[in-house]
A and B are shown apart, each in its own frame.
Chain A
Amino acid sequence: MATRIFGSGIRRREDPRLITGTATYTDDFTLPGMVHAAMLRSPHAHARIKKIDAARARKAPGVVAVFSGPDADSLAAVPCAWLLPNANLKIAVYSALCKDVVRYVGDIVAVVVAETVSQAYDALDLVDVDYEPLSSVTNPEQANKPGAPQLHPDVPNNEAFHWVLNVGEVDAAFKNAEVVVKDRIVHQRLIPNAMEPRAALAQWSGASGELTLCNTTQNPHIVRFLMSVVTGVPEDRIRVVAPEVGGGFGSKIAVYPADFLTVFCAMKLGRPVKWNETRSENFQATTHGRGHIQEVEIAAKKDGTILGLRATSWSGMGAYLSTAAPGIPTILHGLMLSGVYNTPAIKEDVYGVYTNGTPVEAYRGAGRPEATFMLERMVDKLAAPLGLDPVDVRLKNMIPRFENGHAVATGLSYDSGDYPGQLKKLVDHIDYKKLRREQEEARKKGRYLGIGIGTYVEICGLGPSQVAGAIGFQGGLWESAIVRFHPTGKVHVFIGASPHGQGEETTFAQIVASEIGVDVNDVKVFHGDTDVTPMGWGTYGSRTTAVGGAALILATRKIKEKAKIIAAHLLEAAVEDMDYADGKFFVKGSPDKAKTIQEVSLMAHVAWNMPPGVEAGLEASMFYDPPNFVFPFGSHFALVEVDPETGQVELKRYVAIDDCGPQINPVIVEGQVHGGVVQGIGQALWEEAVYDDNGQLVTGSLLDYALPRADMLPEIEVLSTVTPSPHHPLGLKGIGEAGTIASTVIVYNAVMDALRPLGVESLNMPLTPERVWRGVQQAQQQKRN
């Protein structure tokens, strides 16, 4: 079998268009007669709309229309698509266009459509809105208390849901504990900031009743569904195209009010309408991530054996429940609280709370970084008072190596893993013991080095559709692929998933090429167009390769089976006597009696001499519903130095060992780890969405929100181990979110390790110089008292 292409770090096939400027993102399209929409957004976090007067705006140059208030009553409410069961879920009405009340800075109150972009924005200033400000709340813990400002009339205490995980004898574990360690962890809100802002271009053909929507999205088929639900256009008459998409990180999963309103305007006006978000709008109104306050305690024996974990979490959902939001702080978080450990008893109460902030959604890692943070933080906190090395505590509690399934307390069955083996590999690689000695020496000289090291496991490859149904996800989670041979032996592949930077046009071509022996350059992968591709559920949760890749390999194997039958016929041999290698089907023992896949494909298409009963053509489709999730894992290490005089954290070294099973293209895997690690470091050290007391987003631009820059980072070392998934046809797992899941807590723990001799126990992220400096000052003050 020609396996060399699988596992080869070939250059990406999507790059030529991207490095020459010929790639087309949504904003790069222009249609005849196209007009431009701009959204008037609320400047108040919470206010009643008393009056909207758009008369002046309507008269402004170039203005085609202004819509506000009840104008868009024909649109149904924006749906939430993850109906978390057994959690008393209360879905508040989420209108694309606000009529009576605005609930966050960014809620849309009017849409202006004009001939040019600048005319549309000029006219926004001429729409007069009379607001009566109401009291607001952005902190979810505060918002959940009686007496807090109420966002929605039918949601007491703003409680959108209360989800409980309760496995094992948690109370007994804490009663029998020899040591209990507590912490309060605040996962600050983050702003995803995909470099391409969101955009939509809608074209409505009234005559045929057909809608075409070009939309920067991670899941065009979900957009098609929800667009149909909200606009009433039958879903089969909607074509959603995700052209080049400039990153998503979760923020392009949701279908947004502005998307619906762009379509609404196009339908009302009968002209193509384009809306392109500004970065300021992106900060205000494209979904945020994280935003949890967690009270955590861990019960253990003096030898470091973990007995139980107990937590309460308040998740700020923002003003409305975004498309997949309820599943993030619950299913994707709580079920991962076993982590890599044998913890027998776990309880978590998760309160999802409406707040006067931007709705939250998945953000790279989505629930799993928060689970990993909780565990790895608490293990470090446990080790210190017991006088144990944190690596030893980890190894003591770790699930031993397993190859084919391991059930954990939260009810999941992990597929395969070798956590202790991988952690030991990392320990050896960095010479951990020597580093600890160097740290000791440095401390004596007044230098504060810190080490963060730990292991995560994540759930991805979402997932079995039966499970999706059971947990309230309003869709399936299978993926699909069509493999179509041309008479020339070239191959077109159509996938339901929708990559946007992850490189599947290359890696999926590698899968096909290695399986059936065609040249990788002869395989072209199509995605992101609901009229062209089979249905799929989208690219998020590190699922495209794990699920879509499985659909593709199985579709390719169907082709191979058919090709073998045709080749046998042409060679006048029995099918069972046929063998295959390197793109050739041959009679066993006679490799010269062979037909290439290209020869077979030609015959399948001219069909001059086909085996009886075999249809012409060479094409196969596959819908793959995975039997289980996949569980990639990794062990990461960070070395920092903290200057207590200035609070400055220097990240000196970062090493990642990740295990996503066999790697189709190790260069792309490394790139995914790089990006993920840096995003996680961003949360630990720099990034934070800050609302002031009035619900104003004070980090509302790239001037105020500290995105990682090239000069803030060291070189990141990326290593790997390979543990195939037993249930995946190629053993593949996923790598998209791995880095983010690990790096936040690894860097955080490193900084706290550095600060331990100074008496600093806990700090909120991001660990900016000011925060670290204040933490040190406070600890020193307490020592003196």
Chain B
Amino acid sequence: MKVSVSITVNGRQYQRDVEPRLLLVHFIRDLGGVTGTKVGCDTSQCGSCTVLVDGMAVKSCTCLAVQADGASITTIEGLTTNGKLHPLQESFWNKHGLQCGFCTPGMILASHGLLKNNPKPTDEEIRHGLEGNLCRCTGYQNIVRAVREAAAVMAGK
């Protein structure tokens, strides 16, 4: 049995017939061909697949494609507007907040969600806010600095 869903990814609408068990992350990657979002685990711990679902940061492996029917998704590719990097993309670059880059799309979008709810987080709040996203390269040190910088830049807007 397949179900027809319509999901907007980065402003483009994708109408597809999907198995009800299909996870949102696989809809985005395999049916949408938008591969910036990563799959790092199978137990919803790593956060590599974090995207924005109607503006809210969600691990896209915790959500079925059918549940996202009608939703608007923003992935890492959609964070750049007219070739201009989002302040979080800039700050991760500026602060060396990534090494291998695999966790980075999810980490940036989780940070996006964090700053939406708490535009001026303390370091401790940043650390707690990102506890659902794993990084094996950076020890999180420069990720915290990056989010701190982005918060300042975004507050200055």
Contacts and interface: CB of A to CB of B under 8 A. Distances in A.
A, B bound? yes
Interface in B16-59: 19, 21, 26, 29-30, 33-43, 45-46, 48
Contacts of A16: 93
A380 B80 CA distance: 53
A24 B37 CA distance: 11
B140 A19 contact: no
A12 B29 CA distance: 27
Interface in B96-110: 96, 98-105, 108
Contact of A675 (B30, B45, B104, B136): B136
A24 B35 contact: yes
Given A194-B100, A195-B40, A247-B100, A710 B127 contact: yes
Size class of A's contact patch? 35 or more
Contacts of B8: none
A678 interface: yes
Nearest to B10: A21
Interface in A1-47: 11-12, 14-25, 27-28, 30
Contacts of B43: 279-280, 701-703
A370 to B, nearest CB: 20
Contacts of B92: 15, 19
Contacts of A709: 130-131, 134, 140
Nearest to B105: A21
A197 B105 contact: no
B151 interface: no
B153 interface: no
Contacts of A280: 42-43
Contacts, number: 174
B141 interface: yes
A20 B128 contact: no
Interface string A110-144: 00000001100000000000000000000000000
B40 A716 contact: no
A229 interface: no
A253 B89 CA distance: 31
A502 B142 CA distance: 15
B115 interface: no
A675 B103 CA distance: 14
Size class of B's contact patch? 35 or more
A113 B131 CA distance: 37
Contacts of B15: none
B100 A279 contact: no
B141 to A, nearest CB: 4
A132 B41 CA distance: 31
Contact of B139 (A196, A197, A677): A677
A638 to B, nearest CB: 14
B141 A23 contact: no
Contacts of A503: 99
B42 A196 contact: no
Contact of B46 (A195, A668, A676): A195
Given A21-B77, A195-B46, A671 B96 contact: yes
Contacts of B35: 21, 24, 27-28
Contacts of A675: 99, 136-139
Contacts of B37: 21
B137 A710 contact: no
Contacts of B102: 25, 194-196, 246-247
B93 A11 contact: yes
Interface string A643-671: 00000000000000000000000011011
A30 B35 CA distance: 11
Contacts of B89: 19-20
A15 B39 contact: no
B38 A19 contact: no
Interface of A: 11-12, 14-25, 27-28, 30, 117-118, 192-197, 244-247, 249, 278-280, 500-503, 667-668, 670-671, 674-679, 701-703, 707-711, 713, 715-716
